[in-house]
Chains A and B, each alone.
Chain A
């Protein structure tokens, strides 16, 4: 789960990390009130979960009130890589002479958190990692002991950070690690950390992602997650407890188990269709969940056809079929063609009792996907 920059910066500031003075604004008037208080230059920054906001036109620096008004009008409501900008962070401009990258994340291969520091800040760090991996200094942290302060100093010196600010940067890095651990973050990144002409160190940007599996013990962050949904269907999926990802195609996909649902998406693509979503309803497939899943894909205006693929496993196919029938009974009319494929335990019994007046059934995964792709093509013709 991603936090917005303004949310992350509030957390940073509370922990004592220097951040520029800022206000959140959702209207042009609020933005102007904010710049009146903060002064110029001021950065107007779109608050959306999109990387490369600056390049995409989501960050502008205003040097006077007219510019501030123009930029606020331009950015609020704009479409940034598919996301509508509902709010901007109005932030005091920082007069910097140098930029650094610092981050904390989990190194999956090592199974340990890793600190990262680079003097090549302000640019896409993933490009740096690819083109010049030596420009990023790394230090693994033993998760049982936590971070030893020397490790933060070591990685900062290793990265070649200027000696006069090195200890300040190390101190920020130590605090970031504490935040990483204390908030169950999966990733924290400050790019850039700015060094001012007065040799002050300021966190000018903030990326903070939280481990969704740990939200049960991070109630305040779970509340922030609410404010972070940017798609109504994704919000709905969150309420229903589904794993759901919205995509851009027109074949709706419902299934059980992440690997099999991903495979179903891949097969839709393989047979010439375009997946509209990833929707994993998990184990069981009781009528209520089936109804909710169908409701989700039906309410996506992009969806022209649906494939429903369940591998019964421990759940018996006839029970799944009953669930599907009960769910279908909730709808007077099926708004979009649905192909169902059941496999595994008691699948044949299940296929027999499915209400084929309302839906189509296929025996194999491959056949079901091909039929759903064909259905979508017929709708769009």
Chain B
């Protein structure tokens, strides 16, 4: 079992003719993902890494029966690309693009509430169900099939934690990067809810970071609705207020909301042990299993 993607997922890559899109489409195919089409305006009829390219997502869905998209479109056009995915009624859209203006995402977010499509990201590494499919830029070789779910706001931090798990022989059901922007589609709670419902996920790792209140809300959800044990990690304990730490969303406000301590306290209160180091997170997971 897994959540959100598996070997039946049929993927259209938006922006497949660009450098990133082409490279990662190839990587996804190599991993075994069912990449069935590309969509790039003006490039219909071409073929990239053995995949037919269409001018619109709509055509790709019509011709190849795609049900999920991965967006590798530059920030200035990514909002539009996500709208196209949402308006085509795909099951899932994964937006990798970093640096989409927040006001564009506010409009996307509004539309998202009116559709049944799940959005992952933007500014995220994507999602992987080891051995079945990966949609995004995650390095497939560090993952292993197993029974731990992982949800994280950060890409490379996810890799670090996964690496620690895999090295100990602990594999993953599905790993999800939800993205580091202020406005994102799938939240921690959405992912946690799906992991809780997944019979093969025996433990979950949640990696958060400073900024916003998503981790606090997730902690409340865990306390009230989850039987599956969760281990946590929070990045940004040493971040000074008012400074954006790389991710647009990773900023502690002047009033002290969004601090690491507030998130760690909330998780601890919900019975979630929070590691001081990535190694400690793996220790906690090992204890659960």
Contact = CB atoms under 8 A, between A and B. Distances in A.
Interface string B238-257: 11101111111110011100
B44 interface: no
A263 B246 CA distance: 12
Q: Which of B101, B240, B243, B278 has the most CB of A within 10 A?
A: B101
Interface stretch (B105-113, B168-176, B198-206): B105-113
B221 interface: no
A127 B257 CA distance: 12
Given A144-B107, A259-B235, A186 B247 contact: no
A160 interface: no
Contacts of B212: 108-109
Contact of B110 (A111, A213, A345): A111
B147 to A, nearest CB: 23
Contacts of A379: none
Contacts of A129: 255
Contacts of B23: 314
- For chain B, the bracket of interface size reads 35 or more
A379 to B, nearest CB: 20
Contacts of A280: 246
A125 B141 CA distance: 49
Given A344-B163, A366-B277, A269 B238 contact: yes
Interface string A252-285: 0001111111110111111000010010100000
A260 B160 contact: yes
Interface residues of A, number: 54
Contact of A313 (B159, B213, B254): B159
A217 interface: yes
B131 interface: no
A103 interface: no
A133 to B, nearest CB: 11
B102 A211 contact: yes
Nearest to B107: A143
A265 to B, nearest CB: 5
Contacts of A112: 106, 109-110
B247 to A, nearest CB: 4
A329 interface: no
A6 interface: no
A216 B76 contact: yes
B182 A263 contact: no
Nearest to B159: A311
Contacts of A217: 76, 101
Contact of B182 (A106, A184, A343, A345): A106
A141 B97 CA distance: 26
B248 A259 contact: no
B230 interface: no
Interface in A172-218: 181, 184, 186, 211-214, 216-217
B131 to A, nearest CB: 18
A365 B276 CA distance: 13
B29 interface: no
Q: Which of A113, A263, A313 has the most CB of B within 10 A?
A: A263
Contacts of A58: none
Nearest to A105: B253
A258 B249 CA distance: 11
A365 B260 CA distance: 20
B152 interface: yes
A139 interface: no
Q: Which 5 pairs between the two chains have the least Cβ-Cβ distance?
A: A259-B154, A258-B246, A257-B156, A259-B157, A126-B255
Given A113-B106, A257-B155, A314-B137, 8 more contacts: A51-B254, A106-B103, A111-B183, A259-B152, A259-B153, A275-B238, A311-B160, A366-B277
24 contacts: A51-B254, A126-B254, A143-B103, A143-B106, A181-B103, A213-B75, A245-B240, A245-B245, A255-B156, A257-B156, A259-B152, A259-B154, A262-B157, A262-B250, A263-B157, A263-B160, A266-B238, A269-B238, A275-B238, A278-B243, A311-B159, A314-B27, A314-B137, A344-B139
Interface of B: 23-24, 27, 75-76, 99-103, 105-107, 109-111, 137-139, 141-142, 152-160, 163, 180, 182-183, 207, 209-214, 233, 235-240, 242-250, 253-255, 260, 276-279
